[in-house]
Amino acid sequence: MADIAFHGDPAIKAQALERLRRHITGGSFVYFPAWENGKANVIGAVVEADDTPLYAERLGYPVSLADTLPMFVNGFRPQAEAERFAVAWLERTPVGADLTRIVSQLMLELLSNDKLAALTAQHLNVEQARQAVMALHSRAIAGDAPDRKIWKATRMAAVHATDTLDEKSLDRRAGQVVEAAAWPGTMRTVLRDTLSALGTLELYLALNDIGWTEEEESRVFHLREKAETDGYKSDFTGLDRVLAILDADHPDLGRRFRLRLDRVEEASERYRKMGWQTIEMMERASLTAEPALAQ
């Protein structure tokens, strides 16, 4: 059966929004866990359980979209922005929208990324795999869903192409994006895995641009660990404590670390941008009705 938003029933949408807003106004909406001690994330608030497939089934969203929704929400800070997005997700999804093709449409967006394409273009087999995966998602959008054997053969070709690349290279990470995308849109984790792989690639590209090294990353980690053991700068917590330590004892590294934080924030924009883009796609989806409601 196609994924029809709210199964064409406005009452299902209204109930979902009421439950979500109740948690937001009551202060029990959280990033995670999904459902624990009266607190709930974007999934748990609606279905009152840690059950993503139930969320998808009850509201008529593709399971891959439901599985990726917490990742979208977690990209927003402060929490008020996360709550605004969570409400918009339900509020702007039209009742009866046919969401069947949304995941494959998003996969094409991810695979068309300019930075990704620039890297895959340097290796013929990897670029051919990217094009082949895009072709399969295009077929799915057109209503000609490829069978599992075709998906598997294409996925194995992507894996073999990626395995030829240096394990620590950016090219290898680009190949891993293609691998993650080589599944049908009906597979629960395909969107989340591909979005995560592309986000990781973009982060490494951003850190590479400023020359941030693994050695620097390790230094910051060990300084933080030592401070926690020694109780140093204990009047600070979290990231503020790390920055206080670096500013006091390693100012040059502190300046570099702030550049790193800026690049991490820029990379996280990928998740927020894709979240809003998904809502816009759902708003444009064609409207239909569930057979049971249309009679």
Q: What is the dihedral of CA 218, 220, 225, 227, to 10 degrees?
A: 150
Percent above pLDDT 90 for the chain: 94
Structure tokens of 80?
């008020």
Q: How far is CA 165 from CA 4, 114, 192, 203, 212, in A?
A: 41, 20, 24, 19, 22
pLDDT at 292 over 50: no
CB proximity list for 75: less than 8 A, separation 6 or greater = 268, 269, 270, 271, 272, 275
Span 52-63, pLDDT tens digits: 999 999 999 999
pLDDT at 1 over 70: no
pLDDT at 25 over 80: yes
Query: Which pLDDT band, with edges at 50, 70 and 90, does 289 fall under?
Result: low
Q: How far is CA 271 from CA 156, 249, 277, in A?
A: 27, 34, 10
Buried b (16+ CB within 10 A) or exposed e, 181-218: bbbbbeebebbbbbbbbbbebbbbbbbeeeebeeeeee
CA 154 to chain centre: 23
Q: What per-residue confidence (pLDDT) applies to 294?
A: 41
What pTM was estimated for this model as a whole?
A: 0.91
Please give the Cα distance from 138 to 140 (Å, whole number). 5
Q: Which residue has the tokens 């799915």?
A: 140
DSSP per residue, 61-130? --HHHHHHHHHHHHT-SSHHHHHHHHHHHHHTSPTTBB-TTHHHHHHHHHHT-HHHHHHHTTSHHHHHHH
Q: What per-residue confidence (pLDDT) applies to 295?
A: 38
The domain segmentation of the chain, as residue ranges, is 5-98, 102-209
Span 123-182, pLDDT tens digits: 999 999 999 999 999 999 999 999 999 999 999 999 999 999 999 899 999 999 999 999
Span 177-226, pLDDT tens digits: 999 999 999 999 999 999 999 999 999 999 999 999 999 999 999 999 99
Buried b (16+ CB within 10 A) or exposed e, 71-82: bbbbbbeeeeeb
Query: Cis (ω within 30 of 0) for the bond into 184?
Result: no
Q: What per-residue confidence (pLDDT) applies to 240?
A: 96
Span 68-119, pLDDT tens digits: 999 999 999 999 999 999 999 999 999 999 999 999 999 999 999 999 999 9
